[in-house]
Chain A
């Protein structure tokens, strides 16, 4: 195991003050330096994950429950790997959406998980605010792995980390003034919301692009510039982040057809040429190749960082699990605080 190198001393408030939150419910609750702290913490895990032996005992003896009330493959897998590489006992709970439709059951489920003395609970739920609701009923840290159309904080953090790595390759340290265009189903996307908040906190200038039916009203109040024309939105873009369009939304309810969506909003090589010469391509996955993104672009070596995003996901989730359990583990400087003092 490599020596764990903490973030640069003096850059952050000392000890537990660097991250004074019990839960990670959304980017909206974080200050810029807290986002940076998690990114810096994740770097050590990026290095570990590239070693032949990818195991530490930091969370040895702790139980982490991944409670997924909505289907997920990659996020669940990423959290599971993250927990296991840190040495925790990881349990996955797939709650079929039908059996937990009623909220009584949701609260009861939360109390049940709590009674099993989990040390951290990772939750995904299809209803905005559901994770916060559960967090209020349990005694351990709760990580939001996506709640409805509200937030998906670890996705935004891993996107920022992947982007930072790529920018550093090009000799750029800061996000200040970075022009990012997010395109796709903004209306239904928690990834878009978390990324808007995090990228702006880090100093980027964010544009969002979607057809009117998939653009939420009042989005400009979040400080972004909305576009309906993808070509216009790409002009000057240094980063292009595509979002997945759910199949059921392409059948006439929101968008007439997949090929019509591709016609207006697909990231083709020709479209990508409208952005800055070395514009970075991102996608949270899973991709609809040939709809919102062409294979040629998705696999574009040196420009597409889609697989880096997946790699950074594990490191970010390791960092979040590590940081949020420090108080319970009695890490020096991370004194337990009573409930009323949580931010």
Chain B
């Protein structure tokens, strides 16, 4: 969609990398023309923000389904699509198709499968998929157990300057576990793996990234030991970044009580101590990205005995509100929240968005960060309401959303 007329948003608080400041944002031809102390011009569509936040549209790094209604509700204008599709994104034609699938009102950035069928055995045609629109490489829901394959993958990715998005759970330790070893898993009698499965995987992947110079992004770092490894690697100058989803800073494994399958996630929910470590990691900059991990699951996948249920949560609609709790708790400020939600993931993917500067894509969201609402799995816009935050009161809603200067999505209905 082409922006028909210039857009001027006045009376808002602009979220820039340097902080939040009042001002006007002008967009022309789908890009940001000016921001700050500027005046609307004749012929502009003028929107009065009424003191709301004007922020970059969220860039969601690692979703499992394209679910436009949920993304628009959550202020997400770009989503990096995990290769775990059916069939998997391990072929250029599928990547090309996926890259078009968001048009016209959503950017979809496919992540190429690292290996054929995501089986961890043979490298997929990564360079061809890159030409077809892939913005990164991902190992999928699982770790690549074969260190030789992982080494060659990282070497190849370094050559192509593509980020490798990795899932950090040592497969030997994790096995068929569905919970983190500890009191909760023991009481419930659930197959469990020690939390160290994550640190083991990160240690190897960081060593290989250090050796090859590849850009490694660990999609979810959820344990203190794992975060310590990432922190130390960053200090050594290794090109490693870390992500997390709100579930791992909002919930501990206590949420598994009564075998609630909406809390069955991969990696599984951790101990309270690890949850605190994730919050510390967000506060001190060890964690670079907060993503939704959006993975809508129908009742056939979730209305099962816990260990038989599929992992994953529908997270797109709650991503912003959950991240804003960290702002209210004083862990981060608003500018940093949008670094985590938009600027950093955009940089990882190499897309020209995620922050306000002249010439960047005009993907933006009008946000009331205080507006209260109650998360209700029955009323969500997503295709399936599998949220572990069901019936939780929260704050922060998107009032309007623009992609390339054109308003997208409908106004929030509830």
Contacts and interface: CB of A to CB of B under 8 A. Distances in A.
A222 interface: yes
Nearest to A69: B305
A128 B309 CA distance: 12
Contact of A133 (B181, B184, B187, B304): B304
B186 interface: yes
Contact of A128 (B300, B303, B306): B306
Given A103-B309, A148-B189, A217 B182 contact: yes
B182 A127 contact: no
B97 to A, nearest CB: 30
A132 B188 CA distance: 12
Given A104-B300, A217-B192, A127 B186 contact: no
Interface in B304-341: 304-309
B380 interface: no
A35 B189 CA distance: 21
Nearest to B179: A128
A218 B305 CA distance: 22
A216 B180 CA distance: 11
A148 B259 CA distance: 12
Contact of B306 (A102, A127, A190): A127
Contacts of A104: 300, 303-304
Contacts of A218: 181-186
Interface in A71-119: 101-104, 106-107
A129 B191 CA distance: 12
A130 B183 CA distance: 20
A340 interface: no
A216 B188 contact: no
Contacts of A193: 186-187, 189
A216 B187 CA distance: 9
Given A103-B300, A132-B259, A149-B190, A216 B307 contact: no
Nearest to A28: B187
B221 to A, nearest CB: 21
B194 interface: yes
A128 B190 contact: yes
Contacts of B194: 217
B181 A216 contact: yes
Interface residues on B, range: 20 to 34
A125 B186 contact: no
A23 interface: no
A129 B305 contact: yes
Interface string A208-231: 000000001111011000000000
Nearest to A132: B259
Contacts of A217: 181-182, 185-186, 192, 194
A130 B305 contact: yes
Contact of A125 (B191, B258, B305): B305
B390 to A, nearest CB: 16
A128 B192 contact: no
Interface residues on A, range: 20 to 34
A107 B189 contact: no
B304 to A, nearest CB: 3
A149 B307 CA distance: 11
Interface in B275-325: 300, 303-309
A216 B305 contact: no
Contact of B259 (A107, A128, A149, A221): A128
A125 B182 CA distance: 23
Contacts of B308: 101-103, 127
B257 to A, nearest CB: 11
Interface string B176-216: 00000111111111111010000000000000000000000
Interface in B121-149: none
Contacts of A216: 181, 185-186, 192
Nearest to B187: A222
A197 to B, nearest CB: 9
A148 B308 CA distance: 11
Contact of B303 (A103, A125, A190, A222): A103
A341 B216 CA distance: 53
B187 A127 contact: no
B170 to A, nearest CB: 16
A322 interface: no
B304 A106 contact: yes
B305 A127 contact: yes
Contacts of A127: 305-308
Given A218-B182, A222-B183, A128 B304 contact: no
A148 B188 CA distance: 9
B192 A133 contact: no
Given A130-B305, A149-B189, 15 more contacts: A102-B304, A103-B300, A107-B303, A127-B306, A127-B307, A128-B188, A129-B259, A129-B306, A133-B305, A148-B189, A148-B190, A150-B189, A190-B189, A218-B182, A218-B183
Interface of A: 28, 101-104, 106-107, 125, 127-130, 132-133, 147-151, 190, 193, 216-219, 221-222
Interface of B: 181-192, 194, 258-259, 300, 303-309
